[in-house]
Each structure stands twice: as structure tokens, then as C-alpha cells.
A and B are shown apart, each in its own frame.
Chain A
């Protein structure tokens, strides 16, 4: 029992350290890839190929003055970034990150807590993460912030239904809510991946996932051209940084969810071992998010609501109905 507790604590610390480092590194990758797609160089001056830009940004974020606007609700203003960052990491607790492996004769399962309702827990925690932008915008007494949090509310109420309904069809096929069961269901190789059975569900899920992580084309919450920086207008320094660590951690979580549910998870893929396979898949989804950001303009809030309620939700309901009929016959 004691070994279990110590092991869980070690896993939690490792996940926290590695994912937050990757989230920081993600900002560098994002700038490099966007620069490549727009025929620029991106960060080049600090270190070889601008690799130390990350350290420079870290120093800047940590040493910047941390101010709280005078009219703001101080406690909630300080709490909001913590909510975003914390829920992003709590959501990762129920995600199996790598296949099981042996370390010094001990069998290690790289999942912090194997809940039998893993998917719902991850989605619920990521949903709770949207309280960060909402509270940040409302507490700062700034009209751009308020507009940002109003957009958070409508974005949340739009995509949340689509996420749940799109995942319902794969859940019906597998008959379990545990992400490990999803992975084991697809262990028969590339033809057993759920994407071939549920292509529509995957497309709906990835669109809702973009809305969930505020990526372009759904980055309404802080769109610079319209509402300054939205919910993050009055934030500076590390508090601002925590919003972005949370956002990038959420991008990684969505990548893991897409890989586990639709793309065979951490089963070995031909000659590629399982651990490497899932890292490649998650990297691809991360790249996809940057690729879409470079290719598409963002849409208006009313277009997002129209898309979610009038197009995606009926499609998701039809998909669930057809899957049910197909399973009965």
C-alpha cells in the first residue's frame, strides 16, 4: 500500500514536470512551425536556432512585475490562472500515457489513476478548466475581459454537447468508459482502429477539441484583433504564463485522447514499439493544431454557435442513432 502511494506521488510529479516542460517547449515549436509555414525564420537569435528562446521567455515571465488592477476582485483574479493550469494537469491523471514497462523489476503502469470512467473524468476536468478564462475575464473590471469571458461561456455551452455526443458512439462500440479498454479494443493492428468504424465521430471530436483548447479557428476568447487579449488583457508575468501552460497541456491531452480513442493508442504499430507510436501520434495531433492555425482565419462567435448547434450536434445525434442500429442488427 505504501509503495502504491509513493509510486503515485512519483508519477504525479513526473507528469507535472514533463508535461509543463513540454508545454513550454510547445510555444517554441509553435513559433517555429508558424514561421516555416509563413516563410519566415521565427526565433533565431537566442542560442542555436533560437532554442534558448524558451529560457529567455521563462526569465522574462518570472521576473516581470505581477500587478493586480485596482478595481479587480483580487482573490478571484489571483485564483483564475491556477484553475486553468491545475485542471489541465488533473485531467491528465486519468490518461494512460505510455504502455506498461518494467523498471528495476517493478512493473510500472504510466497512468496515475486508472478510473473505470476515465473518459468522462478527463472531459469533465477539461470542462472545469474553462472556469479559468471565465473568472479571469469577470474579475478584472475591464470591458475586453468581460467580452472574453462572455465568449468563454457561449463557446463552452456550444462545444460541450458535441464533445459528449461524438464520443458516445465509440463508447457504445467498446462498451466501456476506461481509456485502457479503448486501447485494448484496438490491439489488433491498424485495421482495428476505431477511426475506420467511426470517421464522423472523429471529425466531430477533433472540431470540438479545437474549441475546447481555444485553438484557431475557435480562439474567440482572446482574439487580439477584436478584443485586445480577451480574458488575459490585465494579466502579466507568471499568472499569464499559467494560462498558457494550461492551454498547451490541454492540447497535449486532446492529442492523447484522439490517439487513444480513435488511432489505436499505445499498441505497437508494425515495427514501431507502442511507446514511440503514441508519442508520434500525439506529436502529429499537436502539429495538426499548429497547421490549422497557420491555414485558417478564426470565425465569429455566432458562426461558432451556428456550427455547433445546427450542424455538428445533429450530425452527432445521427451518428449515435446509426451506430445503435448497426449494433442491434
Chain B
């Protein structure tokens, strides 16, 4: 049953991401991306990592939704996008080689030794508890570094986007709006 589920999910995910890469319609591409991301959470459920599966689901549903918002602004969703870049053999070769290399690097240790588990399953600990214990003991430093990086990104985002946050266009009177537009055009 689990083998069947794994192959079903793996093949679907591969097909969906292929569509994401090849499709010239922005709507098809993004929908395939979202569906693929949601199906990946199925792989986590098969591995009994329920918590990570749900986190994958929630994070990527939101992230791809933001991508849709950009797609809506920049492209005609029902038309096809005219791409200017011609097929480039060197880029293709390098890309495929990198992908093969990465797969090799990540599978080699497991092929040789099997997968040794540094933190074996704790009896009685539920999924989120197990994640929390490992996160706040062994991986505390990477966790804090990631937190600082996110803080930096958040501050940068607020500074970039928040320049004119205090004056809301929808609350201005007609004169104020005109004055604002003239000021902006200068």
C-alpha cells in the first residue's frame, strides 16, 4: 500500500513539475507548481512525519498564493507567454549535470551505509514534540541563525515597502491626491 502510494505520488510530482517548467501558460504552470508542492506533503505523511507534512502544506499554499498575486499583476493569465530565450545547449547540459550530481551526492551515503538515525524515534513523543526536541538541542545554532536571517529579511522588507505606508491613497481628499501625484511625478 505504501509502496503504491509512494510511486503514485513520485510520478505525479515529477509530471506536475515538468508541466511547471515547460508550460507557456502562466496559470497552468503555477497551478502545477502548487499541486506538486501539496503532493510533496503526501510523501511526508507516508514517512509518518505528519508535522512536517502539514508544515509543507501550510507554508507552500501561502507561498504559491503570493506567487499567483505576482503572476496576476505581470501576465495575462489565460494567454500564453512569448518567451524570447532560445534553447541553449550549454545551459541544458550544465543544468542536467548539476541535477545528476546532486542526486548522486545525496544518495551515495545511503546506498553505502543505509540511513543511520542520529536521533532514534522517542517512545511516547508525538511528532511535533520530537521535532521540537531535536530543533532545540542539536540544531539550536542553525535554528537561531535562520531566525536572525529572517529578522534581517523582515526589516529589509519593511524598509523597502514601508516608505509611504502612512499616507493611504483611498483616504485622501481630491486636492491632497493631486498634490501627492504632482510631488511623485517630479
Q: Which residues of A contact B (CB under 8 A)?
A: 71-73, 75-76, 79, 115-117, 120-121, 123-125, 127-128, 130-131, 134-135, 138-141, 146, 149-150, 153-154, 156-157, 160, 164, 176-178, 300, 302
Contact = CB atoms under 8 A, between A and B. Distances in A.
B170 interface: yes
Given A117-B50, A177-B128, A138 B77 contact: yes
Contacts of A121: 50, 54, 57
- Those 3 A-B pairs whose CB atoms lie nearest each other, nearest first: A124-B57, A120-B54, A153-B69
Contacts of A134: 65, 68
Q: SS class of chain A's interface: helix, strand, loop or mixed?
A: helix
Contacts of B50: 115-117, 121
11 contacts: A72-B78, A76-B31, A117-B127, A124-B54, A124-B61, A127-B61, A128-B38, A134-B65, A138-B27, A140-B78, A146-B77
A117 B61 contact: no
A154 B170 contact: no
B141 interface: no
B1 to A, nearest CB: 10
B72 A138 contact: yes
A138 B68 contact: yes
Nearest to A140: B78
A153 B68 contact: yes
Interface string B40-72: 000000000011001101100110011011001
Nearest to B170: A302
B126 interface: yes
B61 A150 contact: no
A162 to B, nearest CB: 13
A139 B128 contact: no
Contact of A139 (B34, B77, B127): B77
A81 to B, nearest CB: 14
A232 B170 CA distance: 27
Contact of A128 (B57, B77, B78): B57
A121 B51 CA distance: 9
Contacts of A157: 62, 65-66, 69
Given A116-B126, A120-B58, A76 B170 contact: no
Contact of B78 (A130, A141, A153, A302): A141
A131 B61 contact: yes
B61 A120 contact: no
A117 B170 contact: no
Contacts of B12: none
Contact of B51 (A73, A117, A156): A117
B164 to A, nearest CB: 14
Nearest to A79: B31
B27 A73 contact: yes
B168 interface: yes
Interface in B125-144: 126-128
Contacts of B54: 117, 120-121, 124
Contacts of B58: 120, 123-124, 127, 164
